[in-house]
Amino acid sequence: MEKYDVVVIGGGPAGYVAAIRAAQMGFNTLCVDRFKGKDGKYSLGGTCLNVGCIPSKALLDSSKHFDHMNHSYDVHGISFDNPKMDVATMIARKDKIVKQLTGGIAQLFKANKVKYIGGSGKLLKDRQVEINNDEGSQVVQGEHIILASGSVPISIPNVEIDNEYILDNAGALDINAVPEKLGVIGGGVIGLELGSVWNRLGSKVKVFEAMDTFLAACDQGIAKMAARTFKKQGLDIHLSTFVKSATIKDGKVEVVSETNGEKTTEIFDKLLVAVGRKAETDGLLADDCGIKLTERGQIDVNDDCQTSVPNVWAIGDAVRGPMLAHKGSEEGSAVAERIAGQHGHVDFNTVPFVIYTEPELAWVGKTEEQLKEAGIDYKVGSFPMAANGRALAMNEPTGMVKILADAETDELLGAHIFSANAADLLSECVVTMEFKGCAEDLSRIIHAHPTLSEAVFEAAMNVDKRAIHKAN
């Protein structure tokens, strides 16, 4: 039986980062991952690189260019004669990017001397791992085991995914022609992003959202602005609406939904199911391995990502906390460092959230609603992108920056941005919060002019009614 210092089960953003970081510190490391790409071959990167974060951003970028050609470039004096989208080329470009990045991880493994085996890994007792693949079965042992199995889409009753007509996130990335009508169940990150892709290309998109609040996790002032913007873009979003069934009939999808007790039947060319994800533990744990699961089916861990079994750790989507690639990666690094006797650190209070619509939504920390509920006295500063010179020059004036700070100490408590490049603008706010900085710290940093980041600067000044380019 081969023995390793560290065995990682899962090769997504949590697992591959943990494996590389462990190897960097001198541990003999093995990574086992069962994900297979479109070509049927084992492919590192997990859901994120293969059928999630990366391919969706490739399609979002392609569709954005097409949408701008149709609706935005005329103000620049640029005109086009009947622009067309070749969907096959767009999908091929997406696949090329995925292959480049997943192959890049394999090269990083080689460079860092991480051994990689494609196949399914199952944790047995005594920190043994059974590996099964096309070549057969073997058992290895690790001094430490890191479980990074990721997550899978949640299904709903009476809606059976076939990835031809009724799609999950993977199927929605490979639609071969623009559907005339696209239904989307779920108004969260996946639903809004992939709904935006096909809306820009000409689909009539209807979003069914069961909650009565749009983007409930987001600051509601920002969320309401986003809802108005998405409506103008053509996304037909219906709150408090439950899909009761979806049936394939004559090459179409018949969807029965219910809003406030009233049922409606509609026909769509495609239906995307994007109601969330759950921890993936199927086939991961032997009955006698000793690992405990939570009531939600996640692997039970403490604050340091330790499971109920000594020297067995779990990270990423399979455990508590937000299901975000960067959160999983940070946990992977932290656990590898803890194994080495160091003090790996992950602060859930400074995990950034992003929705890559246009404009983007990005936030970190508390919302106004959360601060009010907690009884925390706070100050607010905001700044509209319409008053930002760079945003106007880019023809991207929609949105705003909102800064929340403690009323007494001025410590930055939250930042919420709806704008072009919001994900990148948020980073300085994350840094400020990580160092327990104040809104005044942000407002005392010299920002280059003209830049979008000046909106963050002005919003921070507006916390104390010192903004220059906005009436306080």
The answer to whether residues 147 and 170 belong to one domain is no
Instruction: Tell me the catalytic residues.
Output: 449
Residue 471 within any structural domain of the chain: no
Residue 203 within any structural domain of the chain: yes
The answer to whether residues 12 and 141 belong to one domain is yes
What integer pLDDT is reported at residue 131 of this predicted model? 98
pLDDT reading at 469 higher than 90: yes
Residue 52 within any structural domain of the chain: yes
What integer pLDDT is reported at residue 123 of this predicted model? 98
What integer pLDDT is reported at residue 472 of this predicted model? 84
On whether the CB atoms of residues 148 and 6 are closer than 8 A, the answer is no
Residue 193 within any structural domain of the chain: yes
The answer to whether residues 22 and 127 belong to one domain is yes
The answer to whether residues 270 and 293 belong to one domain is no
The answer to whether residues 171 and 146 belong to one domain is no
Please give the annotated binding residues for FAD, written as ranges. Answer: 57, 121, 317, 323-326
pLDDT, tens digit, for every residue of 45-82? 999 999 999 999 999 999 999 999 999 999 999 998 88
The answer to whether residues 321 and 381 belong to one domain is no
Please give the annotated binding residues, written as ranges. Answer: 57, 121, 186-193, 209, 276, 317, 323-326
Residue 25 within any structural domain of the chain: yes
pLDDT reading at 108 higher than 90: yes
pLDDT, tens digit, for every residue of 237-286? 999 999 999 999 999 999 999 999 999 999 999 999 999 999 999 999 99
The answer to whether residues 310 and 208 belong to one domain is no
The answer to whether residues 246 and 113 belong to one domain is no
pLDDT reading at 314 higher than 90: yes
Residue 20 within any structural domain of the chain: yes
**What is the domain extent for residue 196?**
166-275
The answer to whether residues 306 and 317 belong to one domain is yes
The answer to whether residues 95 and 230 belong to one domain is no
Residue 469 within any structural domain of the chain: no
The total number of structural domains that make up the chain: 3
The domain boundary residue, chosen from 225, 254, 275: 275
What's the average model confidence in pLDDT over 409-427? 98
The answer to whether residues 260 and 379 belong to one domain is no
What's the average model confidence in pLDDT over 363-377? 98
The domain boundary residue, chosen from 310, 340, 370: 340
Question: What is the average pLDDT score of the chain?
Answer: 97
% of the chain residues with pLDDT over 90: 99
Residue 158 within any structural domain of the chain: no
pLDDT, tens digit, for every residue of 110-139? 999 999 999 999 999 999 999 999 999 999
pLDDT reading at 389 higher than 90: yes
% of the chain residues with pLDDT over 70: 100
Please give the annotated binding residues for NAD(+), written as ranges. Answer: 186-193, 209, 276
Looking at residue 236, which CATH number applies to its domain? 3.50.50.60
